[in-house]
Structure 1
Amino acid sequence: MNTESAGVQRVVVTGVGVLSPFGEGAEVLVRALEEGHSGVRFLEVPWAKSLNSALAAPVLIPVESRFTKLRRLTLDRVAQLALLAAGEALTQAGLDFSGDEGLHCGLFWGTGIGGATTLEQAYHESFLDAQARPRPTTIVAFMANGSAGQLSIEFKIRGPSFTYSSACSSSAVALGEAFLAVRQGRVRYALAGGSEALLTLGVMKAWESLQTLAKPDPVHPETSCRPFSRDRSGFILGEGAGALILESESSAQARGATILAEIVGYGNTTDAGHITQPDAGGQARAIQEALHMAHLAPDQIDAINAHGTGTVVGDGVETRALKIVFGDHAAHIPISATKALHGHLMGAAGAVEMVAALGALRRGIVPPTAHWTTPDPACDLDYVTEGARALPALNTIMSNSFGFGGNNAVLIARRYTVSP
Structure 2
Amino acid sequence: MQRRVAVTGLGIVNPFDDSEAPGSDGANDFFRRIAEGQSALSLYTTEDIPRAISIPAVRCAAFRPEVRLGKALSGMMERFAQLGVAAAFDAWKDAGFSRGSEQAPYPASEAGVAWGTALGGLMAFERGYRDFWQHGKERVAPMSVVLGMNNAAAGHISIQLGLGNSALTYSVACASAASAIGEAFRHIRRGSAKLMLAGGSDATLAYAVVRAWEALKVLAPGDETSAPQACKPFHPDRAGLVLGEGAAALVLEDWDHAVARGARIYAEIAGYGANADHVHLVRPDQNGQVAAMNMALGEAGLSPTEVGYVNAHGTATREGDPIEIAALREVFGAHAKQVAVSATKSAHGHLMGATGAVEALLTVLALYHDTLPPTANLNEVDASCAGVAHVRDTALRGSRVRAALSNSFAFGGSNAVLAFKTTRQ
Task: Specify the TM-score bucket, using the shorter chain as the normaliser.
Answer: over 0.9
| Identical positions, percent | 40
The answer as to 2:75 corresponding to 1:73 is yes
Compare 228-237 and 392-401 and name the one that shifted more: 392-401
Q: How does 1:14-93 map to 2 (within 5 A)?
A: 14-23=8-17, 25-47=26-48, 50-51=51-52, 53-66=54-67, 67-93=69-95
**1:81 alignment partner AA:** L
Compare 368-377 and 317-326 and name the one that shifted more: 368-377
**Which runs of 5 or more structure 1 residues have no equivalent in the other structure?**
1-6
Compare 146-155 and 341-350 and name the one that shifted more: 146-155
**1:350 alignment partner AA:** G
Aligned partner of 2:23 in structure 1 is: none
Q: Is the 8 A contact 2:41 2:57 kept in 1?
A: yes
CA distance in 1, matches of 2:339, 2:194: 34
The answer as to 2:262 corresponding to 1:253 is no
The answer as to 2:13 corresponding to 1:11 is no
The answer as to 2:361 corresponding to 1:359 is no
3-state SS in 2 of match to 1:20:
coil
> Residues 417 and 62 from structure 1, CA distance in 2 versus in 1: closer, same or farther, beyond 3 angstroms?
closer
1:397 paired residue among 382, 395, 404:
404
The alpha carbon displacement at 1:220 in A equals 2.4
The alpha carbon displacement at 1:198 in A equals 1.6
Q: How does 1:221-300 map to 2 (within 5 A)?
A: 221-300=227-306
Q: Is the 8 A contact 1:305 1:338 kept in 2?
A: yes
CA distance in 1, matches of 2:239, 2:53: 14
Compare 67-76 and 155-164 and name the one that shifted more: 67-76
The alignment of Structure 1 onto Structure 2 pairs a total of residues equal to: 412
The alpha carbon displacement at 1:51 in A equals 4.7
CA distance in 2, matches of 1:214, 1:231: 11
- RMSD, aligned α-carbons: 1.8
3-state SS in 1 of match to 2:163:
coil
CA distance in 1, matches of 2:218, 2:56: 13
CA distance in 2, matches of 1:49, 1:324: 47
Aligned partner of 1:3 in structure 2 is: none
The answer as to 2:304 corresponding to 1:302 is no
Compare 383-392 and 175-184 and name the one that shifted more: 383-392
**Which runs of 5 or more structure 2 residues have no equivalent in the other structure?**
21-25
Q: Give the structure-2-normalised TM-score.
A: 0.93
The answer as to 2:362 corresponding to 1:368 is no
3-state SS in 1 of match to 2:184:
helix
> Residues 179 and 339 from structure 1, CA distance in 2 versus in 1: closer, same or farther, beyond 3 angstroms?
same
CA distance in 2, matches of 1:389, 1:49: 46
Q: Deviations over 1:280-299 (max 9, x none)?
A: 00000000000100111111
Q: Deviations over 1:52-93 (max 9, x none)?
A: 642210011132332444433320011111111111111111
Q: Is the 8 A contact 2:131 2:137 kept in 1?
A: no
Compare 19-28 and 347-356 and name the one that shifted more: 19-28
Q: Is the 8 A contact 1:305 1:398 kept in 2?
A: yes
3-state SS in 2 of match to 1:348:
helix
CA distance in 1, matches of 2:43, 2:50: 11
